[in-house]
Chain A
Amino acid sequence: MATNQSPDSEPPPTETVSTDGGLPAETTESTEPTLQRWTKSEFVRSLPFWLPATLLVGLFIYGAIGWNFIISLTDWQGLRRVTYNPAEFDLDNYFEFFSKVVEGGLLGGPQEYWAFRNTFVLLILFTVVALIVGLLLALLVDQKIRFENSFRTIFLLPMSLSFVVTAVFWAWMYNPSSGMINEGLRLVGLGAITQNWISDPQFKLFAVIFALIWQFSGYCMVVYLAGLRAIPTDQYEAAKVDGANTLKMYWRVIIPQLRASTTSAAVVLMVFALKAFDFLFVMFGTQPGRSADILALMMYREAFDGTANWAYASAIATILFVLALGIISPYLYRQYKRGAL
C-alpha cells in the first residue's frame, strides 16, 4: 500500500497523532497546517467531489455486501422469487456449512470441508512462498546489477497477464505428455518424477499454487525492492564494520527492517489468494474435485452453475468476506494509526 516506500527505519510519526483521541481529520490537518483556517462550509463545498464516488461505492460494494448477508439469512433457491421476511431469517445456511466442514474433517466426506481446508492451504502456502521468492529476487536484483530494469520488467511481467491467460499457459505447461514441465524433467534425467500434475489429486492444488507463485512473486519483489532502497546505506556499512558477513548482515540488519513491506505484500497476496477464482475456473471448470476446490469456486458453483442455491452461496460469500475482513482490518487500522492512509 502507500507505505511500501516508507520502511520501519523512519521514526514512527504515529503516536503523536493517535494520542489526541484519534479524531479522523487529524491525519490530514497535521499534513496541511496552512489549511486549518478553512471554514466549516468547506465540508459542504467539497461534497460534489467525493460524494458521488462514495455513494457509488457505498451502493455497489457495501450495499451489496449487506444485501448478500440478508440473502444468506433466507432460504432462497432455484427459480422462486426471493422473499425477505424478517420473521423467517435464520442462520441455517451457516450452520449447514460449518456442520459439513466439521463432518468432513472427521469423516472426509462433504465438499465444504475440502473447499474450506484448501482455501487455507492455498492462502498460507501461496503467501509464504511467494514472499520468500519475492524477497530472494529483490535481494538479487538489489546487487547493483546491469540491466536492472530489464530484470525487473521480466519478473513483474506475469502480473500484467489475466488469470485466464496464465491458466491457459499453465494447463499446457503441466500437460503430462508434452508439457514443458515434464519435458524439462525428462531433459535433465528426472523422467522418473514426471507426473500428471493437474489431474492427480495429490498434486493438483500444489500445481495451482506453483503457478500462482510464478505470477505474483514479481509483485513481492517490487514491494521488497522499494523497502530495500529505503534502508539508509550507512546501515549496510555499519554492519560491515561490525564484521558481520554478508549473510549475517542480511539476516540481522536488513531483513528485520523489511517488516512493513512484508506486511503490506502479505495482505495483498492473501486477498489475491481468496480471489484466485478465475485461475481455477479456467483450469478446472466448476468441478475441480475435492483436492483443488476452494471457497471462491464453491460459492460460484452453488449460485451460478445451474444449482441456484442462492442463499447458501451467499452464506459462503459472507464467510469469504469475513475472512478478507479479518486479514485487512488489523492492517488498515494500523495504517490509519500510523497516519499512512
Chain B
Amino acid sequence: MSTLSALQHNRPDWSRIALYVTLLAMIAFYLSPLESGLMTSIKTQAGFQQTSPFVPPLPGQFAIEPWIEAFGRLQSGLVNSILFAIPATILSATIGSITAYGLTNTNWRGQALILMVLIAGIFIPYQSVLVPLSRFWTIVDLGSLLAVIPPLADRSELIALTITHTAYGIPICTLLFRAQYKSIDSSMIEAARLDGATIATIYYRIILPLSIPMFAVALIYQFTNIWNDLLFAIVLISDNSNDVVTMSLQKLTGSMVSQYNIQMAGAFITALPTLLVYIIFGEQFAEGVAGGGA
C-alpha cells in the first residue's frame, strides 16, 4: 500500500489534475454570468455591441457612465430597501430567537404542535396569500392610521412591507434558533432555575449570550432573503416613491431594453449589499442555507 502511494507520488497524478481542471471549469461556468455582466457594465454602448461580453473593454470603449446612470435610477430604491430590510431582519431574528426559546427550553405539552405549525410556514408559496394580503393592507390603512406623523405616513407602505416580511421570516428564524437551543446543556438552565431565576432572566442571562453566533447566521440569511424579494414589494407598494431596489431594477430593465451596460451596472448595484454580506460572512450564510433551505 505504502509503496504504491510512494510510486504514485513520482509521476504526475492525472486524476488529481483532471479533478482540478474540472473544478476550475465549473468555477468558470458559475462565475460567467457575473463576469460577462461586470465587463459589459464598464463598456460604452458601442463597446458591448462590438466585443464579446466576456472580454474587457477595448481602449476608448471603457465607460463608468453606466454605473452613474444606474445608481441615479436605483438611489431611492436603495434607501427604501435599507429602510425596510434592516428593521424586518432584526425583528424576525429577535422574535425567532425568543419564540424558539419559549418552545424549546421551557417544558409543557403541545410545543411540538406549535413548532410544526410555525415551521410549515417556511414552505408556503407566497402566491397563496397574495390576494388576502393586499386586501388586508387596504383595510388596515396604515397611511391614515399614521396620519398624525407625516414622515411615517408617507412611508406606510414600507412599514406594511416590514411587518409582512417579519411575519414570514419568523418561521425560518425560529427553526434556526431551535436547532441550537436543543443542544444547550439543560443542567445549566436547571441550576439557574433552582437559584430562582425566572424564564425571562434565564433567556437574558444564559440563552441570549450563547445565541450570538446563531444571530449572525439568522440576520445574514434573513437580510439576504428580504433584500432580494420582489413579489411582496410589487403587491404591497403602489407609490413610486416607496419602490424598493428590486422593483427599481425591474423597472430599469423595462425602460432601458437594449442598454445592457446600464442594466448590468444596475444588477450589480442591487446585488452589492448582499454580495458584500456574502463575501464577508459566507460561512454564516452557508449555515443558514443548510439549516433552513427556503
Contacts and interface: CB of A to CB of B under 8 A. Distances in A.
A49 B199 contact: yes
A238 B116 CA distance: 39
Contact of B107 (A29, A49, A170): A29
Counting chain B CB atoms within 10 Å of each CB, the highest count among A64, A151, A317 belongs to A64
A35 B230 contact: no
Contact of B293 (A1, A23, A29, A169): A1
A173 B267 CA distance: 13
Q: Classify the interface of chain A: helix, strand, loop or mixed.
A: helix
Contact of A24 (B48, B112, B134, B166): B112
Contacts of B117: 54, 57-58, 62
Considering residues A50, A65, A166, A175, which has the most beta carbons from chain B within 10 angstroms of its beta carbon? A50
Report whether over half of chain B's contact residues are helix, strand or loop; otherwise say mixed. Answer: helix
Interface string B269-293: 0110011011100100110011111
**Interface range on chain B: under 10, 10 to 19, 20 to 34, or 35 or more?**
35 or more
A157 interface: yes
Contact of B101 (A49, A149, A172): A49
A129 to B, nearest CB: 14
A274 B53 contact: no
Interface in A123-150: 137, 140-141, 143, 145, 149
A212 interface: no
A301 to B, nearest CB: 11
A169 B30 contact: no
Contact of A180 (B54, B187, B199): B54
A140 B290 contact: no
Interface of A: 1-2, 4-5, 23-29, 31-36, 38, 40, 42-43, 45-54, 56-65, 67-68, 71, 82, 137, 140-141, 143, 145, 149, 151-166, 168-173, 175, 178-180, 183-184, 187, 214, 218-219, 222-223, 226, 264-265, 267-268, 271-272, 274-275, 277-278, 281-282, 285, 295-296, 299-300, 303-304, 310, 313-314, 316-318, 320-321, 323-324, 327-329, 332, 336, 341
Given A222-B289, A265-B293, 17 more contacts: A25-B111, A33-B186, A42-B107, A48-B200, A50-B114, A53-B118, A61-B121, A65-B124, A155-B27, A157-B31, A159-B289, A162-B227, A172-B260, A180-B32, A268-B294, A304-B134, A332-B120
Interface of B: 19-20, 22-23, 26-27, 29-34, 36-37, 40, 48-49, 52-54, 95-96, 98-99, 101-121, 123-136, 164, 166-168, 170-171, 174-175, 178-179, 182, 186-187, 189-190, 193, 198-200, 203, 224, 227-231, 234-235, 246, 249-250, 253-254, 260, 263-264, 266-267, 270-271, 274-275, 277-279, 282, 285-286, 289-294
